[in-house]
């Protein structure tokens, strides 16, 4: 079985996808043959240069040409948020599998339309929540399922960066709902939701508040200032269907934070803690030890935590951000070959989208929102 990849976009995530798909076959031995068939960017000169750099066979400056190409079986969408829906719908209508970066779309209605189209088309889909493909995260989930910390009763999560902390940073499309949709919730908070749901199960309801710290930003040409329409921070108090509770906090204006994505799962017999900036470690506290010996232990990921061993046979040598994308790409290729759903597909990711939009609604309307 040979699968052709078409990549739209060559920025941060476009390069991450290209590297991940190129590496997946070398890392994993059970994947179908992959062809780097076609790359799309604008202008055409850039597309050609990036195709050569990334190893793609051909280039185009028209994403519709890529979607319609018989050489392409997977359409990988790494464009700005506002383009996801149109591209994904066209790709699925053409019978292509879709790998879409998060968030799925600007609005919940658009995400619902994409999910319905995926079910109707019968194609495989996946959304780029690479942090939940971390072997450490998978091990945390296994320990919770095995009852190592008892019944999970509380989740505490925070995700912070400082890419919008500077008040003098120029206004961009990211400040508008029409082009970006939500702010920190769409950029960062959705990752935290994916982790919370993966560990605790579905959300039931929530209360929330948001704020826009910098109400306006200077225009790049110096001609004035423009409004920031979406949120810089968001806070939610959540209830899971299991009865457990929790908090979700996110900020894109947190000075000094580069990729803080931390969680704690509190159980009736212990606790698990994780920090993305130390992504190869878990902290585990189990309460059944004698009090004189109680304390947190560090679990360092290694070959015993699949699929770490596919990358390296030795513990302590560390996986990185790009490796999580490689795991994600490998998982998607495996799902396509088997004709089975990937995770998170458009159906699962729609649940994450529903949660971040519920936080937005709860904050704007000042009420508890049911999911």
Q: Is the pLDDT of residue 240 over 90?
A: yes
- Indicate the fold that domain 133-370 takes in CATH: Dihydrodipicolinate Reductase; domain 2 (3.30.360)
pLDDT tens per residue across span 247-285: 999 999 999 999 999 999 999 999 999 999 999 999 999
pLDDT recorded at residue 111? 98
Q: Summarize the confidence of residues 209-237 as an average pLDDT.
A: 97
pLDDT of residue 100 exceeding 90: yes
Q: pLDDT at position 289, please?
A: 86
Is residue 65 over pLDDT 90?
A: yes
Q: pLDDT tens digits, residue range 285-309?
A: 999 988 999 999 999 999 999 999 9
What is residue 135's predicted lDDT score, i.e. its pLDDT?
98
List, for residues 27-41, the tens digit of each pLDDT value.
999 999 999 999 999
| The pLDDT of residue 136 | 98
Q: CATH number of the domain at 2-130, out of 3.40.50.720, 3.40.980.10, 3.20.20.70, 3.30.70.60?
A: 3.40.50.720
pLDDT at position 215 = 96
Q: In the chain, which residues fall in CATH 3.40.50.720?
A: 2-130
Q: What is the pLDDT of residue 259?
A: 96
> What percentage of residues in the chain have a pLDDT greater than 90?
98
- Each residue's pLDDT tens digit, 126-140: 999 999 999 999 999
Q: Go through 51-87 and write b for each residue having 16 or more CB atoms within 10 A of its CB, e for each that does not.
A: beebebebbbeebeebbebeebbbbbbbbebbbbbeb
Report the alpha-carbon distance of residue 31 to residue 3 in Å, rounded.
10
Confidence of residue 1 (pLDDT cuts 50, 70, 90): confident
Structure confidence at residue 161 (pLDDT): 98
The mean of the pLDDT values for the chain is 97
Residue ranges of the chain assigned to CATH 3.30.360.10: 133-370
Average pLDDT over residues 335-344: 97
Q: pLDDT tens digit string along 153-183?
A: 999 999 999 999 999 999 999 999 999 999 9
**What HEC string does the chain produce?**
CEEEEEEECCCHHHHHHHHHHHHHHHHCCCCCEEEEEEEECCCHHHHHHHHHHHCCCEEECCHHHHHHCCCCCEEEECCCHHHHHHHHHHHHHCCCEEEECCCCCCCHHHHHHHHHHHHHHCCCEEECCHHHHCHHHHHHHHHHHCCCCCCEEEEEEEEECCCCCCCCCCCCHHHCHHHHCCCHHHHHHHHHHHHHHHHHCCEEEEEEEEECCCCEEECCCCCCEEECCCCCEEEEEEEECCCCEEEEEEECCCCCCCCEEEEEEEECCEEEEEEHHHCCEEEEEECCCCHHHCCCEEEECCCCCCCHHHHCCCCCCCCCHHHHHHHHHHHHHHHHHHCCCCCCCHHHHHHHHHHHHHHHHHHHHCCCEEC
């Amino acid at each position: 079985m040979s699968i052709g990849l078409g990549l739209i976009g060559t920025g941060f995530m476009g390069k991450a996808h290209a590297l991940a798909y190129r590496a997946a076959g070398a890392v994993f031995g059970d994947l179908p043959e992959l062809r780097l068939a076609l790359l799309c960017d604008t202008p055409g000169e850039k597309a050609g240069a990036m195709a050569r750099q990334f190893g793609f066979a051909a280039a185009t400056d028209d994403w519709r040409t890529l979607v319609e190409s018989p050489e392409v079986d997977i359409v990988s969408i790494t464009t700005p948020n506002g383009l996801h829906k149109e591209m994904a719908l066209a790709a699925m209508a053409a019978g292509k599998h879709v790998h879409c970066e998060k968030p799925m779309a600007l609005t919940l209605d658009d995400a619902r339309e994409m999910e319905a189209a995926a079910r109707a088309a019968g194609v495989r889909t996946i959304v780029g929540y690479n942090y939940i493909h971390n072997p450490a995260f998978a091990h945390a989930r296994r320990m919770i399922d095995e009852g190592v910390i008892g019944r999970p009763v509380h989740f505490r999560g925070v995700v912070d960066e400082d890419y919008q902390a500077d008040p003098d940073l120029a206004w961009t499309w990211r400040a508008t709902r029409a082009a970006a949709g939500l702010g920190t919730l769409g950029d960062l908070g959705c990752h935290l939701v994916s982790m919370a749901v993966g560990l605790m199960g579905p959300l039931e309801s929530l209360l929330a508040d948001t704020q826009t710290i910098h109400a306006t930003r200077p225009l790049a040409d110096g001609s004035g200032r423009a409004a920031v329409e979406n949120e810089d921070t968001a806070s939610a108090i959540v209830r899971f269907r299991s009865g457990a509770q929790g908090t979700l906090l996110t900020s894109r204006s947190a000075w000094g934070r580069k990729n803080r994505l931390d969680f704690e799962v509190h159980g009736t017999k212990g606790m698990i803690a994780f920090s993305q900036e130390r992504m190869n470690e878990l902290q585990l506290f189990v309460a059944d030890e004698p009090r004189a010996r109680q304390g947190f232990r560090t679990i360092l990921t290694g070959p015993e935590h699949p699929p770490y061993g596919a990358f390296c046979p030795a513990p302590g040598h560390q996986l990185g951000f790009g490796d999580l994308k490689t795991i994600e790409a490998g998982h998607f290729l495996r799902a396509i070959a088997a004709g089975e759903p990937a995770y998170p597909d458009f159906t699962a990711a729609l649940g994450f989208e529903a949660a971040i939009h519920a936080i937005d609604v709860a904050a704007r309307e000042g009420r508890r929102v049911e999911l």
